[in-house]
Copies of this chain bind each other. A is one copy, B any other.
Amino acid sequence: MRTEIASLGEFGLIDRLTAGFSRQNPSTLTAAGDDAAVLDHGGRKTVVSTDILLEGIHFDLHYMPLKHLGYKSVAVNLSDIYAMNARPEQIVVGIAVSNRFSVEALDELYAGIRLACENYGVDLVGGDTSASNKGLLISVTAIGTATAEQLVYRHGARPGDVLCVTGDLGGAYVGLQLLEREKRLFLENPDIRPDLEDQTYILGRQLKPEARKDIVELFEQARLVPTAMIDVSDGLTSDLLHLCKASGVGALVEEALLPIHPDTYQQSLKFQVDPTTAALHGGEDYELLFTIAPGDVEKIRYMMDVKIIGEIVPAEDGVRLQSKGGNFYPLTAQGWAHF
C-alpha cells in the first residue's frame, strides 16, 4: 500500500509521524503544536524553533540575492520565537551546497546571516556545513528565552478576546507574483530588462521580511501579555485556524479592518487578485497575529503598527469573515502547494 504525502497535507503528515512519541523528560514543557517548543533547564524557559529552506522550493536564486536569502532565513525563524513572546538569543545554521557555489557566494549568504544576527541581537553558535549534489539548502534553528509569565502559546484565546494583527498583509504574496512574472519574461527573452515598477515596498516584503522584535518589546513596555499568539507565515487564514483550533474557539474577522498597504492593494488589482484574498491567504508576511483580553485594549491603542481585525467567538460559531457588504463567509485554509 502506498499513501501519497500530498493526500495528508503538511499538518496531517506531521500529526501522523509524531504520533506514538511519549514524553520522557520533565524538562520538556511543550513539544509539537506551537510556533516553538518550550524547555525548562531550571532557569528561564528555553524556546526552540527550526526551519528548512530549499532552493527551488522555498526560494529562487533567479531573483533572491544570496545576502537577502541569508537575512530572510534567519528572520523567518526568529519570527517563530517572537510569536511565543520570547527573545531569540542564539541560532545554529546548517548549510548544504553543491560545487556550483563559490566561496564568494557563501560569503554573501553569511553577510546576510550576520546582518540579521546584528539587527536582532542574536549569536550564531554553531552549525553544520555539507556538500549537496544539487542546489542550496539552509537549516536554521533558533533558541530564545522567556520567563514562564511572558510565554504566549497558541492555545490561550477565549471568546470575547480581541483579535489583532501587526503591520499589513498580502504584500509578500504580490511581491512574489511580480518577481515570478519578470522571471518568466526573462526566461522567454533573456535580453529583456526586468520591469519591477519601482515596487520597493512589496518587493521588500518578499525579499527582506522582518520579524517583529519591536512588537514583543512594546508588549513588555506596556506590560501586555497576549492570551494567544502565532506568526503569520502560511497566511492569515491558515494561521488563524491553527490558533483557533489550539484554543478551541472560533473567530470573526472583519474584512474592512484587514490592514492592506496601498501598494499591495494596487498591485493585487493589476494581477487580478482580490486584495482581500491576498491578505487572507498570501503567506510569508511574518506579522504577529494575537489575541488580548478585552480589558487590555487600552494598552494597544497607541501601538502604531497593531490593528484590531476582529474578535474571538465560541467554537460553535466557527471561523468566519464578515465582508464589507455585511455577509459572513467561513474561512478555510488553502492547500499545501509543494506536493
A198 contacts partner chain B, Cβ-Cβ < 8 Å: no
- Considering only CB atoms and an 8 Å cut-off, how many residues of chain A contact the other chain? 83
The answer to whether A10 touches B129, judged by C-beta atoms less than 8 angstroms apart, is yes
Within 235-284 of A, Cβ neighbours of B (below 8 Å) are at none
A39 contacts partner chain B, Cβ-Cβ < 8 Å: yes
Q: Is the contact region of chain A dominated by helix, strand, or loop, or is it mixed?
A: mixed
**Measured between C-beta atoms, what is the minimum distance from A198 to chain B in Å?**
33
- Which of A123, A137, A145 has the most B CB atoms < 10 Å from its CB? A123
The answer to whether A24 touches B122, judged by C-beta atoms less than 8 angstroms apart, is yes
The answer to whether A89 touches B18, judged by C-beta atoms less than 8 angstroms apart, is no
C-alpha spacing A62/B27, complex, angstroms: 38
The answer to whether B139 touches A13, judged by C-beta atoms less than 8 angstroms apart, is no
A303 contacts partner chain B, Cβ-Cβ < 8 Å: no
Report B-chain residues with C-beta under 8 Å of the C-beta of A124.
18, 21, 31-32
Report B-chain residues with C-beta under 8 Å of the C-beta of A139.
50, 52, 94, 139
Within 104-136 of A, Cβ neighbours of B (below 8 Å) are at 104, 106-107, 110, 114, 117-118, 121-135
Number of copies: 2
**Measured between C-beta atoms, what is the minimum distance from A237 to chain B in Å?**
20
A92 contacts partner chain B, Cβ-Cβ < 8 Å: yes
C-alpha spacing A89/B26, complex, angstroms: 9
Could you say which of B8, B17, B90, B132 contacts A110, with CB atoms under 8 Å apart? B17
Report B-chain residues with C-beta under 8 Å of the C-beta of A143.
39, 46, 48, 143
Known: A123-B31, A131-B57. A46 touches B37 (CB 8 A): no
C-alpha spacing A123/B26, complex, angstroms: 10
Could you say which of B43, B96, B117 contacts A42, with CB atoms under 8 Å apart? B43
Report B-chain residues with C-beta under 8 Å of the C-beta of A304.
none
Please, what's the 1-or-0 string for A33-50, where 1 marks a CB less than 8 Å from any CB in chain B? 000110111111110111
The answer to whether B114 touches A20, judged by C-beta atoms less than 8 angstroms apart, is yes
The answer to whether B110 touches A37, judged by C-beta atoms less than 8 angstroms apart, is no
C-alpha spacing A18/B1, complex, angstroms: 47
The answer to whether B89 touches A25, judged by C-beta atoms less than 8 angstroms apart, is yes
Report B-chain residues with C-beta under 8 Å of the C-beta of A39.
46, 89-90, 125, 143
Could you say which of B21, B37, B118, B126 contacts A114, with CB atoms under 8 Å apart? B21
The answer to whether A56 touches B123, judged by C-beta atoms less than 8 angstroms apart, is no
C-alpha spacing A36/B37, complex, angstroms: 19
C-alpha spacing A3/B104, complex, angstroms: 7
C-alpha spacing A38/B89, complex, angstroms: 12
A184 contacts partner chain B, Cβ-Cβ < 8 Å: no
The answer to whether B99 touches A28, judged by C-beta atoms less than 8 angstroms apart, is no
C-alpha spacing A103/B6, complex, angstroms: 9
User: Can you list 6 contacts pairing A with B, beta carbon distance less than 8 Å?
Assistant: A16-B107, A21-B117, A39-B90, A46-B46, A52-B130, A54-B130
User: What 4 A-B pairs are tightest by C-beta distance, nearest first?
Assistant: A42-B43, A43-B43, A131-B338, A37-B125
New contact pairs (18) apart from A5-B99, A17-B129, A43-B44, CB-CB < 8 Å = A2-B103, A3-B102, A4-B102, A4-B103, A5-B102, A6-B99, A10-B129, A21-B117, A23-B123, A31-B123, A41-B46, A42-B42, A50-B92, A50-B141, A51-B94, A54-B137, A94-B139, A133-B134
